[in-house]
Amino acid sequence: MTATASTPTTEPTRPFQGWRVLGLATAALILTTPGQTIGVSSFIDHMIEDLDVSRSVISAAYLIGTLTAASVMPAVGRWIDRRGVSHAMTVVGCAFAVAIAFTGFAQNIWMAGLAFVGLRMFGQGSLSLIGDTSISLWFQERRGRAFAIAMTVSTGLMSLSPLLFTSLIAEVGWRKSWWIAAAAIALTVVPMGRFLMIDRPSSIGQVPDGIEGITAENFVAQKSFSVGAAMRTGGFWSLISIAALASALSTALTFHNVSVMAEGGLSETQAASVFVPLSIGAVITSFSVGWLTDKVSSRLLIPLPPLAFAAAAVLATQAAPGFMSLLYGLIIGIAGGAVRALTSALYPKWFGTNHIGAIKGVAQTVSVASSAVGPLLLSVGNDIADGYHPALFVAATLSLAIALGTLLVSDPSKNS
């Protein structure tokens, strides 16, 4: 275990810049949308038709692209720690814009597969990691509320992306829509990183939180774990397990939403309606859970996501037109919002910020890989059992087991 971020050497000469950085980081999280499943899903049917490939083939390409992207996240995290979030955002913004533009030029499944690697690596993976890391560096005592704000705003706006992309595709076609998205990333993320983002408080003589009366002389630095030390704690693997469960199950249920809901008698339109309560649940929970991480013991909060996912998996087997399907959407939204806010806040709270990029890089690898495997496992379970219910009950059981396991975990920073 090592000491944390370098102590500032000069007094702040301007207002606390953390809130500005929070706004930039939140914008970066929102702008990962073209690389997220919720964004890509709007284009899939159009790509299948135009490229003349089957759904299985393009799904396999998406799986390979996602797993490839996941494999480099630990290296990306170490690079962010070494070069700083400003440089990282600039470079990743350029690469992400190129990847999005390239997707619009795809002429066959091989080009589409390469495009998926870029979308997932630079969007879902790297840019998300940069946004999370920057918030972690600028807030310590107020970290939970900072993440509450970021996750609430980004979750709410990202949930509108299917409507935006669907309307854009109807107006200009899927290829031009990708190109417009690429231009938007180039004109926002790149200048944000190059001219507006600040690496860490000590870069300008400030301290995390910017609380009045806290200066360089009386700032108490938070202790930090190395990646290896973090991986030797139960808390790290508890968070990894929750993130893997969330990524696998939520992506699987989103990817197969129409098919899963059809077993309960829902039409395609009715199946799509579950995303309304899902968005509401995610927004409310992102804010409340993020805020509570500053107020109450982590042990009271950490079982919440797996318990909610267990309930969501069971409710998916009971979905029916009307109240039950809406309740299902609400619960899975609560589960997703809780895990995103909780894990974002707890990694820096438990393990410090000296190596936070590298630590979250490992976590991001597991999360991204799980999001790739989840839909496949649910699909295989459906094929074997001729229905989704057995696989969903297995998911519910696994979720309960993870929830019970979290009861045994304590805050690693207090045990060191």
The one-digit pLDDT tens for each residue of the chain (416 residues) are: 444 444 444 444 679 999 999 999 999 999 999 999 888 888 888 898 999 988 778 888 888 999 999 999 999 999 999 999 999 999 999 999 999 999 999 999 999 999 999 999 999 999 999 999 999 999 988 898 999 899 889 988 988 888 888 889 999 999 999 999 999 999 999 999 999 999 999 888 888 988 665 555 555 566 789 999 999 999 999 999 999 999 999 988 887 887 888 899 988 778 878 888 988 998 899 899 989 988 888 888 999 999 999 999 999 999 899 999 999 999 999 999 999 889 989 999 899 998 999 999 999 899 888 988 888 888 888 889 988 999 999 999 999 999 999 988 888 878 75
Distance CA 2, CA 17 (A): 26
The pLDDT, as a whole number, for residue 12 is 44
Query: What letter represents residue 145's amino acid?
Result: R
Distance CA 249, CA 252 (A): 5
The pLDDT, as a whole number, for residue 156 is 84
Residue showing tokens 């490229």: 51
Cβ pair 201, 4 in contact under 8 A:
no
In sequence order, which residues have a C-beta less than 8 Å from that of residue 341 and are 6 or more positions away?
Answer: 147, 148, 151, 285, 286, 287, 289, 290, 293
Distance CA 147, CA 283 (A): 12
Residue showing tokens 């509570």: 292
The percent helix, strand, coil of the chain (3-state, each to 5) is 75, 0, 25
Cβ pair 413, 351 in contact under 8 A:
yes
In sequence order, which residues have a C-beta less than 8 Å from that of residue 69 and are 6 or more positions away?
Answer: 117, 120, 121, 124, 125, 368
Distance CA 256, CA 259 (A): 5
Beta bridge partners of 224: 2
Residue showing tokens 């519910």: 396
The pLDDT, as a whole number, for residue 251 is 85
Distance CA 195, CA 230 (A): 33
The pLDDT, as a whole number, for residue 9 is 45
Beta bridge partners of 2: 224
Cβ pair 206, 8 in contact under 8 A:
yes
Distance CA 352, CA 5 (A): 9
- Domains of the chain as residue ranges with CATH: 18-197 (1.20.1250.20), 227-409 (1.20.1250.20)
Where are any strands of DSSP class E within 75-230? none
Distance CA 313, CA 390 (A): 10
DSSP designation for 2: B
Global pTM value = 0.84
Q: Of 163, 223, 241, 237, whose CA–CA distance to 399 is shortest?
A: 241
Q: What is the 3-state secondary structure (H, E, C) of 352-379?
A: CCCCHHHHHHHHHHHHHHHHHHHHHHHH
The pLDDT, as a whole number, for residue 30 is 97
Structure tokens at 339: 């895990």
